[in-house]
Amino acid sequence: MESVDKLREELLAAVEAAGDLDALEQVRVAALGKKGRITDQMKGLGALDPDQRRATGQALNTLKDAVAEALDARKAAMEGAALDARLGEERIDVTLPVRPEETGRIHPISQVIEEIVTVLGDMGFGIAEGPDVEDDWHNFTALNIPADHPARQDHDTFYLPGPDGADAGRLVLRTHTSPVQIRTMQAGPPPYRVIVPGRTYRCDYDATHSPMFHQVEGLLVDEKTHMGHLKGCLEDFCRAFFGIDDLPVRFRPSYFPFTEPSAEVDIGCTREGGELKIGRGGDWLEVLGAGMVNPNVLRNCGVDPEKYQGFAFGMGVERMAMLKYGVPDLRTFYESDLRWLRHYGFASLDMPTLTGGLNR
């Protein structure tokens, strides 16, 4: 009979030395298999006298357990390492189409754009669009923001490299939808009555800012358009959009280079115990920028400011959606989390209409 201690040393060393799962399996068979060395020793027990048989039998059983345990531990370690290696190597193909959902949901951004368009469309505004990649003139200069104007610094602009890497002639990702005011006026004679839903870009990222976001612009220019029209239009809009007939709407003096005078539009709210509620209640919340189109802007587009005047406004779609539907963090709009979409999304038949209702 072999010495049990020597056998233990040899077998445990073989377990340690096994380089992969196949080698390990060979070690297991050689030790514990039908013709394995431990099995062999067990078979030899019958030839021993009773005292020796008991002592050696116990030692062999202990050895068998120890070897089995060592084999399991080594196997687990190998499988863990193999998984780590696979995880390090494999890539997810994000271009694969998503798995079909049982029922799709409309994203709140799409829904809110649809709602805004429904209200303003009913007032007679048509839809205009423009490019996301703009030139400096349409995004800034024509809007009365010349090169040295401090308002340029208010927009954290994404610039594209210009010809030969120079700054001159470089394009920008539009920082607002206002350049479409310019494009609309350049395209033909007044009157103009358009809204512009679209993507906009600023280099900014936190709970209320995303580098890509959405705005809806409005432009109305005619011969006798005045500030009363602006106020009536936006008052009606806010009340219809939020679905609150007696919603207080306030115009607060402000500044934009492309409007004069300019105003910030606030709606009524309460903030009791940290909870924001839109409606009558003595507190105010800013929702829109607006004003009478600056005569310089009309002139830049070849429109005679002695004959025509009008108003413009702009609002952030994410902000409107967050306020109306209680979304606390703007970044969640772009995380593509299906649980979030199931909660905040809309059924595909929830299309907003003025008669069917805008508000769930």
CB of 155 to ligand PHE, least distance (A): 8
Q: Does 290 bind ligand PHE (CB under 6 A)?
A: yes
Which span (33-41, 50-58, 243-251, 311-319) binds ligand PHE, by CB under 6 A?
311-319
Tokens representing 348 are 């595909």
Burial class (CB in 10 A: 0-12, 13-18, 19+), 135: middle
Q: Does 313 bind ligand PHE (CB under 6 A)?
A: yes
Binding residues among 228-257 for ligand PHE as defined by CB under 6 A: 256
Q: How many residues bind ligand PHE (CB under 6 A)?
A: 11
Binding residues among 144-173 for ligand PHE as defined by CB under 6 A: none
Among 24, 194, 312, 322, binds ligand PHE (CB under 6 A): 312
The per-type count for the chain, helices as H runs and strands as E runs, is 11, 10
Give whichever of 105 and 193 is closer to ligand PHE, judged by the CB atom.
193
For residue 15, the surrounding DSSP H or E stretch is helix 4-17
Which span (240-248, 286-294, 324-332, 348-356) binds ligand PHE, by CB under 6 A?
286-294
Alpha-carbon distance 322 to 232, whole Å?
A: 24
Q: Does 314 bind ligand PHE (CB under 6 A)?
A: yes
CB of 144 to ligand PHE, least distance (A): 11
Angle between helices 4-17 and 21-32 (to 10 degrees): 160
Which span (68-76, 270-278, 308-316, 338-346) binds ligand PHE, by CB under 6 A?
308-316
Amino acid 349 reads L
Give whichever of 186 and 348 is closer to ligand PHE, judged by the CB atom.
186
Burial class (CB in 10 A: 0-12, 13-18, 19+), 22: exposed
Question: Measuring CA to CA, how many Å separate 249 from each of 125, 231, 240, 268, 280?
Answer: 21, 9, 12, 6, 10
End-to-end CA distance of the chain: 85
Which span (18-26, 95-103, 205-213, 289-297) binds ligand PHE, by CB under 6 A?
289-297
The residue behind tokens 């610039």 is 159
Give whichever of 290 and 301 is closer to ligand PHE, judged by the CB atom.
290
**Interface residues toward ligand PHE, by CB under 6 A:** 176, 178, 217, 256, 259, 289-291, 312-314
